[in-house]
């Protein structure tokens, strides 16, 4: 497995997950972590504990990139191959962006469908594979039509 | 006039396009047009506010003082506002506040932009702590990708179709056909939209607004100044909202990677966009049922439908039916984007919210030749920009 493209945002365990932080005072979860102050207006908390966010969530919405995005996007292949992107709602009550796992496109997705986090290679640079989290459809729910939302 | 109203004495624009000239030229053109429309001399202006953009290569240069110098230093007070797509409205708010405080009598508000081609991209350099940079590096998430998220939700939740989105473009293209300030002035069919390439599924190229050069300017004044100028029945700014979101904001907004979490504090009753409109309605003492015409931010065709619901011009999931019934076309119950909207203009960021005010001023005066909403008395604008910015302006006459 390669090196995370961004340090401290996700684990690469056999069961990988996003690393959020939980405010010690009010319990609000934040992602990405790294805050030194709580954003809850009722809370003046300044200390946080790391939390691994739910690995599974439900698709809030989704799309794809049929044209190569501009820099600082780094294309993984030449010629460019389109990829899908999903915004996924986790049990903690937040929505997190991510590309959709290799081999899946918008036809495999629906609002409300279940997806799970996987780690894949985003691009390759001098240090080797640079990895990122992606959302992979959970097969049993990909046939739903979003009416469970 | 109500005690918190200010008068719109004059409006002016530089036509939108891809002219490739310095933004100050456009701003100067729009400012002189607004001053002429108001019958106010530049020497009378006691406050100048400029809208700034950080997006398109002019950070720190698109400022109130740039326009003041272009017009010729006259010793007026000056301010510069930045609020992403809501920049023009925030600049107007700065002017309004000073006028209502009795510190200024008559102000000039200007927004202008020169834009590059293609996708809007973040400024150069590696910025690993900037969500606007990271969303490109980590996900390749362009602006149209975010627009597509909202469009897809309408399809999966409300049964909207790509034909519905195309209908918005067809309507706005028809509205803007004879608007002298519009960049795109040609008829578009549903087939044209669907035949254009898909950029971010389900949005086609013709569903997504371009970026444009352009400028808009507004001359606003106190009720007393308006009276002295003989403007007995001016268009008024009756409500102006530039509220921030309320925590936790659980709707994914551009350019964020994640939303706030609602695990400890419940999500607010209204979404950010709905709260922008509510604050404007409350301030103006106007009900959504009173609105005759709206100029809303159709960055994508589908976003126009979202705004109709966020501004409570119809209920959730009802916008497509109003559109299909022709109720949002000029002549219908609640015409949306009679100017042609961003579909016909393309976005000139710091000018766009002021362009909306210009259009509604012409509509409320009955001067929107070729696109007039008959009997328009109350108009509302709406837009949302990056980083928790948004605005809504209510104009009455």
* A95 part of a folded domain: yes
Count how many domains chain A has: 1
Nearest to B271, CA basis, from B255, B296, B252: B252
Domain range enclosing A64: 56-141
Q: B80 with B194, same domain?
A: no
**Cα atoms found within 13 Å of the Cα of residue A142, Cβ hemisphere only:** 13
* A105 part of a folded domain: yes
Q: With beta carbons under 8 A apart, name residues in chain B contacting A92.
A: 261, 263
Beta bridge partners of B383: B391
CATH of the domain at B27: 3.40.47.10
Q: B345 with B250, same domain?
A: yes
* A7 part of a folded domain: no
Query: How distant is the Cα of B257 from the closest Cα of chain A, in angstroms?
Result: 5
Q: Does B257 sit within 8 Å of A32, measured CB to CB? A: yes
Q: B109 with B168, same domain?
A: no
The answer to whether B52 touches B66, Cβ cutoff 8 Å, is no
* B123 part of a folded domain: no
Nearest to B170, CA basis, from B26, B328, B346: B328
Contacts of A112 (CB under 8 A, 6+ apart): A58, A59, A144, A146, A147, A148, A149, B156
Q: With beta carbons under 8 A apart, name residues in chain A contacting B257.
A: 31-32, 96-97
Q: B172 with B221, same domain?
A: no
For chain B, 397 residues long, give each residue's pLDDT as a single digit of tens: 899 999 999 999 999 999 988 889 999 999 999 999 999 999 999 999 999 876 554 545 678 999 999 999 999 999 999 998 999 999 999 999 999 999 999 999 999 998 876 666 777 788 898 888 999 999 999 999 999 999 999 999 999 999 999 999 999 999 999 999 999 999 999 999 999 999 999 999 999 999 999 999 999 999 999 999 999 999 999 999 999 999 999 999 999 999 999 999 999 999 999 999 999 999 999 999 999 999 999 999 999 999 999 999 999 999 999 999 999 999 999 999 999 999 999 999 999 999 999 999 999 999 999 999 999 999 999 999 888 999 999 999 9
The torsion angles phi and psi of B215, rounded to 5 degrees, stand at -150, 150
**Which of A87, A123, A143 should one mutate to test binding to chain B, selecting the residue with the greatest count of B CBs within 10 A?**
A87
Q: Does A94 sit within 8 Å of B261, measured CB to CB? A: yes
* pLDDT number for residue A144: 42
Q: B165 with B17, same domain?
A: no
pLDDT tens sequence across A85-138: 999 999 999 999 999 999 999 999 999 999 999 999 999 999 999 999 999 999
Q: CA distances (Å), A139 to each of A17, B5, B53, in order?
A: 19, 58, 45
Q: B204 with B331, same domain?
A: yes
* pLDDT number for residue B385: 86
Q: Does B141 sit within 8 Å of A69, measured CB to CB? A: yes
Whole-number Å distance between alpha carbons of A66 and B20: 28
Say yes or no: A60 contacts chain B, CB-CB below 8 A. yes
* pLDDT number for residue A6: 96
Q: B242 with B229, same domain?
A: no
* pLDDT number for residue A141: 46
The torsion angles phi and psi of B373, rounded to 5 degrees, stand at -90, 110
Burial status of residue B174 (CB atoms within 10 A of its CB: 0-12, 13-18, 19 or more)? middle
Q: B66 with B204, same domain?
A: no
The answer to whether B169 touches B191, Cβ cutoff 8 Å, is no
* A125 part of a folded domain: yes
* pLDDT number for residue A149: 35
Beta bridge partners of B177: none
* B141 part of a folded domain: yes
Cis peptide before A32 (omega within 30 of 0): yes
Nearest to B257, CA basis, from A35, A84, A30: A30
Say yes or no: A85 contacts chain B, CB-CB below 8 A. yes
**Which of A61, A112, A120, A145 should one mutate to test binding to chain B, selecting the residue with the greatest count of B CBs within 10 A?**
A61
Q: Report the SS3 class of residue A115.
A: strand
* A75 part of a folded domain: yes
- Average pLDDT score over chain A: 93
Q: Report the SS3 class of residue B80.
A: strand
CATH of the domain at A116: 2.40.50
The answer to whether B112 touches B23, Cβ cutoff 8 Å, is yes
Q: B112 with B156, same domain?
A: no
Please give the ipTM for the structure prediction.
0.93
Count how many domains chain B has: 2
pLDDT-based confidence at A145, cuts 50/70/90?
very low
* A49 part of a folded domain: no
Residue A106: how many other CB atoms lie within 10 Å: 20
Strands A128-137 and A3-4: parallel
* B19 part of a folded domain: yes
Q: Describe the crossing of helices B272-284 and B301-310 by its angle, rounded to 10 degrees.
A: 50
Domain range enclosing B34: 6-118+213-235
The answer for B388, left when phi > 0, alpha when psi is -120 to 50, beta otherwise, is: left
Contacts of A109 (CB under 8 A, 6+ apart): A59, A62, A84, A86, A100, A115, A137, A142
Q: With beta carbons under 8 A apart, name residues in chain B contacting A73.
A: 136-137, 140
Q: B181 with B229, same domain?
A: no
Quick one: tokens of A74? 């780094």
* A41 part of a folded domain: no
Given a cut of 70, whether residue A142 has pLDDT beyond it is no
* A65 part of a folded domain: yes
Say yes or no: A112 contacts chain B, CB-CB below 8 A. yes
Q: Describe the crossing of helices B162-175 and B143-158 by its angle, rounded to 10 degrees.
A: 120
Nearest to A31 among B119, B139, B258 (CB): B258
* B367 part of a folded domain: yes
Q: Which sign, positive or negative, has the C-alpha torsion B294, B368, B328, B350?
A: negative
Nearest to B118 among A23, A70, A94 (CB): A70
Q: B313 with B355, same domain?
A: yes
């Amino acid at each position: 497995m390669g090196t995370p493209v961004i340090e401290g945002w996700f684990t690469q365990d056999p069961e990988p997950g996003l690393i959020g932080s939980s405010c010690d005072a009010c319990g609000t979860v934040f992602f990405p972590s790294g805050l030194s102050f709580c954003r809850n207006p009722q809370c003046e908390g300044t200390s946080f504990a790391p939390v691994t966010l739910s690995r599974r969530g439900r698709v809030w919405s989704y799309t794809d990139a049929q044209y190569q995005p501009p820099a600082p996007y780094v294309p993984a292949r030449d010629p460019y191959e389109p990829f899908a992107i999903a915004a996924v709602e986790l049990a903690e009550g937040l929505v997190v962006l991510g590309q959709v796992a290799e081999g899946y496109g918008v036809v495999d997705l629906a609002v409300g469908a279940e997806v799970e986090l996987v780690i894949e290679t985003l691009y390759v640079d001098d240090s080797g594979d640079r990895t990122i989290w992606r959302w992979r459809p959970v097969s049993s729910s990909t046939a739903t039509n979003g009416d469970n939302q | 006039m109500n005690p918190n109203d200010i008068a719109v004495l004059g409006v002016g624009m530089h036509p939108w396009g891809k002219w490739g000239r310095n933004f100050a030229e456009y701003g100067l053109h729009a400012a002189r047009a607004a001053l002429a429309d108001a019958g106010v001399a530049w020497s009378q202006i006691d406050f100048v506010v400029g809208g700034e953009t950080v997006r398109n290569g002019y950070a720190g240069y698109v400022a109130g003082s740039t326009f003041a110098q272009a017009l010729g230093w006259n010793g007026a007070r000056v301010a510069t506002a930045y609020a992403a797509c809501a920049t023009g409205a925030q600049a107007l708010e700065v002017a309004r506040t000073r006028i209502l405080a009795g510190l200024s009598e008559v102000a000039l508000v200007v927004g202008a932009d020169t834009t590059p081609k293609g996708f809007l991209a973040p400024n150069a350099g590696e910025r690993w702590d900037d969500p606007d940079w990271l969303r490109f590096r980590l996900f390749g998430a362009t602006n149209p990708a975010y627009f597509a998220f909202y469009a897809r939700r309408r399809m999966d939740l409300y049964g909207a179709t790509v034909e519905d989105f195309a209908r918005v473009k067809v309507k706005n293209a028809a509205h803007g056909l004879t608007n002298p300030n519009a960049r795109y002035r040609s008829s578009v069919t549903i087939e044209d939209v669907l035949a254009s390439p898909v950029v971010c599924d389900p949005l086609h190229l013709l569903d997504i607004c371009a970026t444009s050069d352009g400028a808009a300017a507004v001359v606003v004044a106190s009720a007393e100044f308006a009276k002295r100028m003989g403007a007995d029945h001016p268009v008024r700014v009756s409500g102006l909202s530039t509220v921030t979101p309320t925590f936790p904001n659980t709707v994914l907004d551009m350019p964020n990677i994640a939303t706030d979490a609602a695990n400890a504090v419940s999500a607010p009753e209204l979404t950010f966009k709905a709260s922008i409109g509510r604050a404007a309605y409350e301030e103006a003492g106007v009900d959504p049922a009173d609105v005759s015409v709206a100029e809303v931010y159709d960055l994508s065709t589908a976003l126009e439908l979202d705004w109709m619901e966020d501004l409570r011009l119809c209920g959730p999931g009802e916008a497509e039916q109003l559109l299909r019934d022709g109720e949002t076309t000029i002549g219908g119950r609640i015409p949306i984007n009679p100017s042609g909207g961003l579909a016909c203009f393309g976005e000139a960021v710091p000018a766009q919210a002021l362009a909306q005010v210009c259009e509604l001023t012409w509509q409320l005066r009955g001067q929107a030749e070729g696109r007039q909403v008959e009997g328009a008395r109350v108009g509302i604008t709406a837009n949302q920009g990056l980083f928790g910015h948004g605005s809504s302006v209510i104009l009455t006459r």
